[in-house]
Chains A and B, each alone.
Chain A
Amino acid sequence: MPTANATDRRLSFEAEALPHLDAVYRFALRLAGSPPEAEDLVQETFLRAWRAWDQYTPGTRAKSWLFTICRNAYLRERERDTRRDELVAEAARSEPESEVSGSELPVFAGQAHYDPEGEFYRSLVDARILEAIDALPTDFREAVVLSDLQGLSYQEVAEVLDVPLGTVKSRLFRGRKLLQKRLHDVARESGFIREDRT
């Protein structure tokens, strides 16, 4: 017969961790980029979470805690993948991680001429938006996914990524701007934005 402690542990895991299976799968999918890799990540995440469940404080942010485990598992896997490392290095060169300049606008400038109010976003199907997110450099993708797709607060994003709050703001600002540019390009290529529009 299981002890009371073992029963409590099981019940709290079922009540607090397992309900986030969908959220962790979605997060893993955006991190890893393919369903098979995401499935491996999810299994790894819940195995590690269960084994480390004694270290979790009941009633705190289980979803963030699971995302942290998931991301760590992903990063360990990724260390073996030099192609992605090259992508991050390239992103770091082109988008230096600095404080956002006071004069920098939140919406990327190229859009202002053709569709200043961003109506084209309504024409984009979800799959194209998710593809554009998946194509973002890792640092920006993580911040955008956690904030915009998973709805975490900046503080929670900072905890999952283990970076200062200012870095989260900077990555979100730049990641969103880069994403806007890519979505704008998609809308132009698809004919949703006419180049002669003024």
Chain B
Amino acid sequence: MTPIGCQEALQRLYEYLDGELTPDTTEEVRRHIDLCAGCYPEVRSATEFRDALHRAALGQPLCPDALRRKVAEMLREEGLSA
């Protein structure tokens, strides 16, 4: 396996974090960023950013009960007796 450089590792960083790379490419990127001090701030920052978005996603409101009832009623009228 040929080691990849900083540019390639950072270009694929999001695909790596999103789990979108093949197992081989994932391993190449992982090997690089685990050992590269130069890439560390970018990797850390991208990770913090994604974590913040995931936290925000969990904080979104759920479907209000009134809307849940409206949808159920609408579907009942359409023939779905939920």
Known contacts A46-B75, A105-B10: A149-B80 contact under CB 8 Å: no
Segment from A73-81, A82-90, A112-120, A190-198 that makes contact with B: A112-120
**A129 adjacent to chain B (CB < 8 Å):** yes
Q: Does A65 contact B (CB under 8 A)?
A: no
Q: Which residues of A contact B10 (CB under 8 A)?
A: 105-106
Q: In A32-55, which residues have CB < 8 Å from any B CB?
A: 35, 39, 42-43, 46-47, 50-51
Query: In the complex, which residues of chain A have a beta carbon less than 8 angstroms from the beta carbon of B62?
Result: 22, 25-26
**Interface SS of chain A:** helix
Whole-angstrom CA separation of A122 from B23 in the bound complex: 30
On whether the beta carbons of A50 and B48 are closer than 8 Å, the reply is: no
Nearest Cβ distance between residue A111 and chain B, in whole angstroms?
Answer: 7
Q: What are 15 A-B contacts defined by CB distance under 8 Å? A: A10-B80, A13-B80, A22-B62, A25-B67, A26-B57, A42-B63, A46-B74, A47-B75, A102-B7, A105-B10, A118-B46, A121-B52, A122-B48, A149-B53, A169-B15
